[in-house]
Amino acid sequence: MQCALKFACSAAPPSSASIAPLLFSNTHNKKKKLRNGCSIRAELSDDNDPLLQAAINSASLHPLFIDPYAGCFVSTHTQMDMETKAKQYCIATKFIDDKLLSTVNHMDGLKQVVLLSDGMDTRPYRLNWPSSTIMFDISPLRVFQKAAEKLDGVGAKIPQRCLFLHVPLETPNIQETLVTKGFNGTRPSVWAIQGLPLMTLVSFEEILLTVSGMAMKGCLFFGELPAWLAETGIGNKSSMKKWINNIFMSYGFKVDMISYNEVAKRLGKVVKPGDYEKILFVAEQLRCSDDQMETWRKELQRVDEDGDEE
């Protein structure tokens, strides 16, 4: 493999219609009924499991010039087309990599990273994470287990003095599981999404609700989303921008859409003009996390009780 800036590409992942619905559960809004729309059945084999196959296809799209592990997910007969396929995915991967590291390196003390992925995200292994980084991967359990086996087989290791924990996407209560595994809502965190199986706008809204409830004010949430989430036509840029601003703001985020063309230029690449199948974004949390609000509530209660005693 060449170390130069090249894109490793393969056939596009299966259509969203072939992937079982996955709904994100949360506890932030008690009035909202908890849902778990994921159905991964025991009879699925590696060949007919749509989530696994989609993750394998996506793994082959990673920019191999910075990913020494992606090859362990790809079969020897996978067709590669360096020039015409999936440059957009590779550009997004590089953008997310750089944004994650630049954000984490500006955090003091414990650094919390939450990756919303397809289960084959190699970032915990291949990026140069600073010490005291704890990474949480939220992804389908079956895919993650398969990936972990392959990564172990090629000797992939988490950087020293870092911790990597998995939270199954099928877990009924994602927030509670994250807290149980050590996530602290009164500490800074950074959230990134790429490859997470999404089927409906509702499932994405539940993700936003979960991140909004757990990320401190000022924390970043960024990554890549399927453009079909937008209720308006993707060919109308102004309409898509208005849609994404409205939906993120309704959950307390200020968001910016990122141009694939601009990112590509910084990498010395050119992408063909036209409609994109993905949305690249960076959002900032404007609200306080649930844990922050609870801490302040307790402090106000303590001040009131001290005042009553006086």
Report yes or no on 23 lying in a domain: no
Report yes or no on 3 lying in a domain: no
Give dist(CA 294, CA 209) in Å, integer: 17
Q: What is the pLDDT of residues 154-166, one digit of tens each?
A: 899 999 999 999 9
Can you read off the two tokens belonging to residue 19?
A: 């992937």
Residue 60 confidence (pLDDT) = 46
Residue 58 banded pLDDT, cuts 50, 70, 90: low
Report yes or no on 39 lying in a domain: no
Report yes or no on 180 lying in a domain: yes
Strand order in the sheet with 133-139: 162-168, 133-139, 111-117, 189-194, 220-226, 278-285, 253-257
Average pLDDT over residues 135-151: 94
Hey, what long-range contacts does 27-32 have (CB within 8 A, 24 or more apart)? 27/173, 27/175, 27/176, 27/213, 28/175, 28/209, 28/210, 28/212, 28/213, 28/214, 28/290, 29/209, 32/206, 32/209
Report yes or no on 98 lying in a domain: yes
Of 107, 134, 2, 120, nearest to 70 by C-alpha is 120
DSSP 149: H
Residue 81 banded pLDDT, cuts 50, 70, 90: very low
| pLDDT of 151 higher than 60 | yes
CB 10 within 8 A of CB 78: yes
Count of domains for the chain: 1
Query: 274 lies in which domain range?
Result: 51-59+81-296
Average pLDDT over residues 283-288: 97
Residue 12 confidence (pLDDT) = 35
Report yes or no on 273 lying in a domain: yes
Q: What is the pLDDT of residues 179-210, one digit of tens each?
A: 999 999 999 999 999 999 988 888 999 999 99
Report yes or no on 291 lying in a domain: yes
- 94: CATH: 3.40.50.150
Give dist(CA 127, CA 66) in Å, integer: 9
Residue 105 confidence (pLDDT) = 96
* Cβ neighbours of 302 (radius 10 Å): 10
